[in-house]
Amino acid sequence: MTGRRRTRTPATPAALAPAATGRAPARLRAAALTVCAALAAGCGVLPGTSDGSDSPITVMTWAPENTRATNLPGVPAMARAYARWVNAEGGIAGRELKVITCNDHNDSGGAAACARRAVSQDVVAVVGSYSQHTRSFLSPLEMAGIPYIGGYGVTEGEFTSPLSYPVNGGQPALVAGMGRQLAGRCSVVALVRPDTFAGDSLPLLLDAGLPTGRRESTVDVRAAEEATDYTRQVREALEEVSAAPRGRGCVAAALGDRTRTFFDSFRRIHAAEHPSPSVRVGAVFGSVDQSTVDSTGGRSGPYEGAQVTGWYPVSSDPRWAQMRRVIGKHAFDDNRIDPSDAGVQTTWIAYTVLRQVIESLEGGEVSARAVRNALDNGLKVGTGGLTPTLSWRFEDMLAVKDYPRVVNANVTFQTVRDGRLVAARPGSVSMAETLEGAPAPG
């Protein structure tokens, strides 16, 4: 995948070989030239590169599906819909986009297998993917020089690898942003989070978002990643926050797919055992979206009044109109794709980056190396206002300790009002300074 060309002299067919004692007849020399011209397109070009040819541009997108914990089927489905759209419009720079998808099964072996498949398929990039197992997939990608564009941002490795090009501030920005959003409303916050290595940093990040004098006011409530019952965690959280004066206790959750299960238990137990004082609800984006609010009762459900922190504008924002049109036309019957889902949105933005990278090559070689060079050398990518202009030069990266690849630490503050997830304040908020001061776990 270096894109280096190998030059090979094709064997001369016996019928066209010159006689040992004289020059080849003119007609044989002409035939040889004809054969060479026919073969020229395939001579000396490595698989997975273009060098101006019309071969497909191959990329991969992966995410966990059909597991007992986190599932993001909309991520690979959105990638396929994007490919159908651009190919129907003539491809990217006149080239077909071929998307290979892979299920990482939410385990390290599955993530490593997806990465090895990406290498074997000569992909030019892994785009818009989700995996919690960066230690398993980054090493194969780094050895092959394959860039990782627009990962979901759930692990530290996505913000440290020189081949990772994140489009958001990941879970660190979200959780620190939630601390900032809840700071004016809550004196005590109980954070319910997965009892995993990735989850260990979340209480520290939420504390970092609180004003300096209020640090360490987060109660850390751990839950098994594949838990199906949260009765103990609900009671522990309520016991901690119910003592807060004037109803200034908050319960926040960052449990991915399990957040809905947690808040179902929360509503039932809170009503039966802690009817007063009122306890506010907070959640990070990806745990709660509009479809979750709708499916749990809308304005009469547990999320009414919840504070939600996101990376991007609310899903009803007109800046998502193009994505919605693509889904409507090229994936209208695919119920895996929810336009309000953070994974789907991140995949759309990641493929927006890929398209602009390929177009910037102006018909030249499209390879993993060429894509990396374009990203490293200051290409500026616009996303129609969904994010700030993105660029991954060294000088564009924020000075965030432990997350040196962050180039966009913006978050949006949202709330559920009358059953709709709406902006709690206009615009976005940068969490760059907050992340710079956040302590590392352990």
Q: Are 429 and 185 in contact (CB under 8 A)?
A: no
Confidence of residue 121 (pLDDT cuts 50, 70, 90): very high
What is the C-alpha separation between 40 and 108, in angstroms, rounded?
43
What is the C-alpha separation between 47 and 301, in angstroms, rounded?
53
For residue 290, give both structure tokens: 């509009």
| Strand ranges inside 273-428, DSSP E | 280-284, 307-310, 410-417, 420-423
C-alpha distances (whole Å) from 132 to each of 153, 264, 300 are 9, 25, 34
∠ CA 157-367-134, nearest 5°, is 15
Which helix (DSSP H) or strand (DSSP E) does residue 360 occupy?
Answer: helix 342-360
**Lowest mean pLDDT, pick from 88-102, 112-126, 214-228, 285-299:** 214-228
What is the C-alpha separation between 287 and 199, in angstroms, rounded?
14
214 pLDDT higher than 50: yes
117 pLDDT higher than 90: yes
Helix (H/G/I), strand (E/B), else coil: 350: helix
Nearest by Cα to 159 from 427, 349, 440 = 440
Helix (H/G/I), strand (E/B), else coil: 127: strand
**Lowest mean pLDDT, pick from 7-16, 60-69, 71-80, 210-219:** 7-16
Confidence of residue 27 (pLDDT cuts 50, 70, 90): very low
SS (H, E, C) 159-186: HCCCCEECCCCHHHHHHHHHHHHHHCCC
Question: Residues 404-411: what's their mean pLDDT?
Answer: 95
**pLDDT for the residue 230:** 95
**Residue bearing the bigger pLDDT, 244 or 298:** 298
**pLDDT for the residue 251:** 92
Place of tokens 């700030």: 388
Percent of the chain with pLDDT over 70: 84
Place of tokens 């914990």: 69
**pLDDT for the residue 141:** 98
16 pLDDT higher than 60: no
For residue 71, give both structure tokens: 């599932």
Confidence of residue 285 (pLDDT cuts 50, 70, 90): confident
Residue 277's Cβ-side half-sphere holds a number of Cα atoms within 13 Å equal to 14
Which helix (DSSP H) or strand (DSSP E) does residue 372 occupy?
Answer: helix 368-376
Per-chain mean pLDDT for the chain: 85
**pLDDT for the residue 47:** 40
**Lowest mean pLDDT, pick from 198-207, 373-382, 403-412:** 198-207
For residue 159, give both structure tokens: 């913000």
Question: Residues 320-325: what's their mean pLDDT?
Answer: 97
**pLDDT for the residue 30:** 42
Helix (H/G/I), strand (E/B), else coil: 397: coil
